[in-house]
A and B are shown apart, each in its own frame.
Chain A
Amino acid sequence: MAEALRNSLREAREARGLTQAELAARIGVSRKTINTVENGVFVPSTVIALKLATALETRVEALFSLAE
């Protein structure tokens, strides 16, 4: 249910001055994955969510939350 998940990935990435390609390279996925997660089109697996949180030095719960 992509519509039930909110994320603040774009804000977190931009706050650290990273491009989508730079973040993608850090966690070993394509830029397409970062783009689709940021746009809410793709719900990432737990593994990718944890990698994103580690790369952005934050917690998974800070990046992803369930919509009310």
Chain B
Amino acid sequence: MNDSSESDVAYAEKSSRRRAALAIVLPVLLLQQVAFATGEHGARAVDMVRLGSWVVMASALLMLLLTGGSLFRRRAVRALMNDEVTLQHRASAIRFGFTLAMVTAIASFALEALRPGTLPTLAVLHLIVSLSLAGALIRFGVLERRSLG
């Protein structure tokens, strides 16, 4: 038997609720920048900062999706936060995100084939990453919230 204390279970549940809320809210910040990436921008310092912050945020959200984001918590709490149900939700979210990435890439390819020069490469990459990552995280957050009751 793999006993945990009731306080660990309560703490893990509180942390899981917070993680589910973050998984729904944070992608909105990522999606906000899609408008910036698809529009005109130059090589000014402010543009570089915005692009750099997007790279950092996208990397952090990817880590949250892949690891569960509870790396600094005790092992027992981490195990409770990443149990079988969570792993199933994460797998479902990643599958959803992958599907979104493929659909976005295919649509971008078709658009570029029909109307060359419509979307710059940077914008296409931004769209694929932002939409798939945001979609996967939101799905993860919704599934988690639903199961927490």
A residues neighboring B (CB under 8 Å): 21-22, 24-33, 35-36, 41-42, 44-45, 48, 51, 54-55
The residues of B that contact A24 with a CB separation of less than 8 Å are 4, 9
B residues neighboring A (CB under 8 Å): 1-6, 8-10, 12-13, 16, 79-81, 83-86, 88, 144, 147-149
A67 CA to B12 CA in the complex, in Å? 33
Q: Are A41 and B147 in contact (CB under 8 A)?
A: yes
Residue pairs across A and B with CB atoms within 8 Å: the count is 69
Closest-by-CB residue of B relative to A35 is B149
- Shortest distance from the beta carbon of A25 to any chain B beta carbon, whole Å: 5
Closest-by-CB residue of A relative to B82 is A30
Q: Are A30 and B13 in contact (CB under 8 A)?
A: yes
A to B CB contacts below 8 Å, 20 in the list: A21-B13, A22-B6, A24-B4, A25-B6, A26-B1, A28-B1, A28-B2, A28-B3, A29-B2, A29-B4, A29-B84, A30-B83, A32-B148, A33-B83, A35-B149, A42-B88, A48-B84, A51-B2, A54-B1, A55-B1
A30 CA to B4 CA in the complex, in Å? 9
- Shortest distance from the beta carbon of A30 to any chain B beta carbon, whole Å: 5
